[in-house]
Structure 1
């Protein structure tokens, strides 16, 4: 069993009742052309606090050019294998949109950016089951947070 793995973080970003999704570029190494949450690999060059959250904020800015609030919350974790068979630990976080106009910062990574309601995502046949699973949990969390405010 391989003990080395990639750590990946993803952002379930919401603005009011919409969720930000991307269509991955056809040039992406893993899941080219798939609908997904914004995110990427954790790169460790030095010891840092809040490495997952900081990686997430960096990836959001690098992929779609927006900011999220610092009140990032854990949604779920799962594992999968890349198209090359590499093991990945994937952690999904709930993020509130703060500022910026989402756009494809790097067309080699992101082909499209769009806001959709949870129901639209769950009914879309092109959205992978793992994205729908994360969004179901994130939507429940978002609704609970709205009730508390």
Structure 2
């Protein structure tokens, strides 16, 4: 990427029944190596497309953990931070329902572990960073609202 104004990042709180898919980021990652995280990644520079956030997130999920999620994406939050390389990152989080596939570390350079964890397990895990816990609290609130409407 050649000196962008912003890097756009998307991430997914993927749920299956009462558990969320959590990854441990590879130690090779530039940003937050080795920490527990949601699945996600950068929106790639390419030609204009519709549903760029959703398509980017589905691609990242497949590339990183090898699973499919439903097409119903539920907005959780947006925030920004400065990356370790000094780029301003705009991060957009979505709630996604697991659909198919067995989660695994497809990209060892990006993901070192994959776990299905309950909401309470994540919140009580000392290795879960504060931003993950904050995002999960919002995701759980959205999930409970979505589940009520189904």
The TM-score with structure 2 as length reference comes to: 0.95
In structure 2, the partner of 1:33 is 34
In the TM superposition, what whole-angstrom CA distance separates every residue of 1:44-64 from its partner, at most 9, and x where no partner exists? 310100000000000000000
1:118 partnered with 2:123: no
1:136 partnered with 2:142: no
What secondary structure sits across from 1:105 in the alignment? coil
In structure 2, the partner of 1:105 is 106
In structure 2, the partner of 1:87 is 88
What secondary structure sits across from 1:57 in the alignment? helix
- Once residues 78 and 46 of structure 1 are traced to their aligned partners in structure 2, the CA distance between those partners, rounded to angstroms, is 25
Question: Tell me, which stretches of 5 or more residues in structure 1 are unaligned?
Answer: none
CA contact (8 A) 2:74 2:142 kept: no
How well do the aligned residues superpose, as a CA RMSD in angstroms? 1.2
- How many residue pairs were aligned? 148
The TM-score with structure 1 as length reference comes to: 0.96
**Which runs of structure 1 show a deviation greater than 6 angstroms over 4 or more consecutive aligned residues?**
none
